[in-house]
Amino acid sequence: ASMPSFFVGALLIYGFAVQLRLFPSFGSESPTSWVLPWMTIGFLPAAVLSRVVRVGLEEAMARPFALTATAKGLSRWAILFRHALPTIAPTYVNALGAQGGAMVVGAIVVEPLYALKGVSDLFLQGVLFRDFMVVQACLLVFLTFFIILNLLVDIAIMFLDPKLRRQGAGA
């Protein structure tokens, strides 16, 4: 989780494109050319989200409802899927939304690394050539994505969290 995207990308290019020759190192000619950029962008959020889930499940499995369910004879898997996972779902969805935003920022670094042409590359070209209209348009696209992503996260959390559902019904 502490390695920057450009370093992870360089390691992936060296390992999977140069040494093993499994994937192309740049361009977007075939679907296999998208595997390394996706992995580069996805490693950091995956590390953070796995940590959120692990800590949340440890806390949920130590709470009194899990101990009571164990005393009643429920299996560990039943407690995990019926009780613990629904408890941590709002926290996970919130972290997932934050990491989705971080993935957009990561794309600004990853697109030039893999010689991909996208909005992030257009943004960097606009910054490089001081084309303020292009920079503003790209920022508008990024901000629209962030707003829609946060709206979807808020709606999902409202459906997942029973306390928020009760508040919405009473209002």
Tell me if 145 is assigned to some domain: yes
- pLDDT at residue 170 is higher than 70: no
At residue 81's C-alpha, the angle toward residues 78 and 83, to 5°, is 85
Give the pLDDT score at 46.
94
Give the pLDDT score at 36.
93
Residues 99-121: pLDDT tens digits?
A: 998 898 888 989 999 988 889 99
Give the pLDDT score at 164.
72
Give the pLDDT score at 27.
78
- pLDDT at residue 167 is higher than 70: no
Give the pLDDT score at 48.
93
Tell me if 20 is assigned to some domain: no
C-alpha span between 15 and 63 (Å, rounded): 43
Tell me if 32 is assigned to some domain: no
Q: How many domains does the chain have?
A: 1
Tell me if 155 is assigned to some domain: yes
- pLDDT at residue 58 is higher than 80: yes
Instruction: Give 153-162's long-range contacts (Cβ < 8 A, gap of 24+).
Output: 153/93, 153/94, 153/96, 153/97, 156/93, 157/90, 157/93, 157/94, 160/86, 160/89, 160/90, 160/93, 161/89, 161/90
Tell me if 92 is assigned to some domain: yes
What percentage of residues in the chain have a pLDDT greater than 90?
67
- pLDDT at residue 87 is higher than 80: yes
pLDDT bucket at 29, cuts 50 / 70 / 90 = confident
Average pLDDT over residues 138-158: 94
For residue 76, the enclosing domain spans 44-170
- pLDDT at residue 34 is higher than 70: yes
Tell me if 24 is assigned to some domain: no
- pLDDT at residue 83 is higher than 60: yes
Q: Got the DSSP string for the chain? A: --S-HHHHHHHHIIIIIIIS--S-SS--SSGGGGHHHHHHHHHHHHHHHHHHHHHHHHHHHTSHHHHHHHHTT--HHHHIIIIIHHHHHHHHHHHHHHHHHHHHHHHHHHHHHTT--SHHHHHHHHHHTT-HHHHHHHHHHHHHHHHHHHHHHHHHHHHH-HHHHHHHHH-
Give the pLDDT score at 137.
96
- pLDDT at residue 171 is higher than 60: no
